[in-house]
Amino acid sequence: MGDRVLEKNTGFKKWWKMIRPHTLTASFVPVALGTALVLPMKKPDIPLFIAMLAASMLIQIATNLFNEYFDYKRGLDTSESVGIGGSIVRDGFRPKTILNLALMLCLISILIGVYICIESSWWIALAGIVCMLTGYLYSGGPYPIAYTPFGELASGLFMGVFIIWISFFIQAETLTLSTILISVPIGILVGGINMANNIRDLSGDQEKGRKTLPILLGRTRAINLLAALFAFSYLWIIGLMIFHVESAWLLIVFASLPKAIQATKLFHGKTKSIQLMPAMKATAQMTTLFGLLLSIGLVLDHFI
């Protein structure tokens, strides 16, 4: 398994792996959910939805590339590193190429953002710049967020909660209490993907001087916290139903519970990064499934 994960990619595959497609669901889910929340008020504007989705995914890819570039420049990534894109250290991309691609994607997302602002509000420009800047500062700048205990918080807020709010706002030109409340579990779970990544990389990050949340908590407590975040997300949905914020259709998210249990179990008893890859993958799959089911629940509530 180790050889398959750490193999050198060539041709189209190395370009495909460079964008780290498995991370893009963290962009798709909040945009889809934010748009689905508009249904009780109006019919969503499909071109705006597509534009928002494209801009979010481009910023996500750019963030991945910034991470690849700055981790390489700081000597953190090697050809044996697990869980990285490996575009520079394994697949032969020049560091400058990766940086320039990241900047180009940011520029394209800005141009898409101009269209979104024209069709909605110029306040979106400020929100978009903040999200883009956070993507850069996550691994760039003198004090990268990725090296601190705040990585989970930053990713949950800016790639989860705020994307839902922006996606809703550009369609409805307002922000509702329901949107704010429904965004909470998604923000938690997007942050959970980051925590799963940091649990996987705990040993290597500790050796390299990082101070991530799992390092400060210790492996066992970090895994327990991740499981607690999973549980809280499901309980939050029950709470929304009990207090009549949303209908019982949202309980469809419980179809993702087996994946949450699987992800938690896969973390226990393992310490090597290569062993924890399935747990990391299951966490991302659980978040994707949870968010998509939540969106489907909102659609069913509107049409049935």
- Tokens 């409340």, residue located: 181
pLDDT per residue of the chain (304 residues) written in tens, 0 to 9: 344 445 666 666 778 778 778 778 778 999 999 999 999 999 999 999 999 999 999 999 999 899 889 988 887 766 666 656 678 887 788 999 999 999 999 999 999 999 999 999 999 999 999 999 999 999 998 899 999 999 999 999 998 999 999 999 999 999 999 999 999 999 999 999 999 999 998 988 888 888 999 999 999 999 999 999 999 999 999 999 999 888 999 999 999 999 999 999 999 988 888 888 899 999 999 999 999 999 999 999 988 8
pTM, two decimal places: 0.90
Domain assignment of residue 238, yes or no:
yes
Domain assignment of residue 304, yes or no:
no
**76 with 208: CB under 8 angstroms?**
yes
Q: What distances in angstroms separate CA 96 from CA 26, 73, 90, 101, one per listed residue?
A: 26, 11, 15, 8
**What is the tally of structural domains in the chain?**
1
CATH at 53: 1.10.600
Range of the domain at 230: 2-299
Domain assignment of residue 69, yes or no:
yes
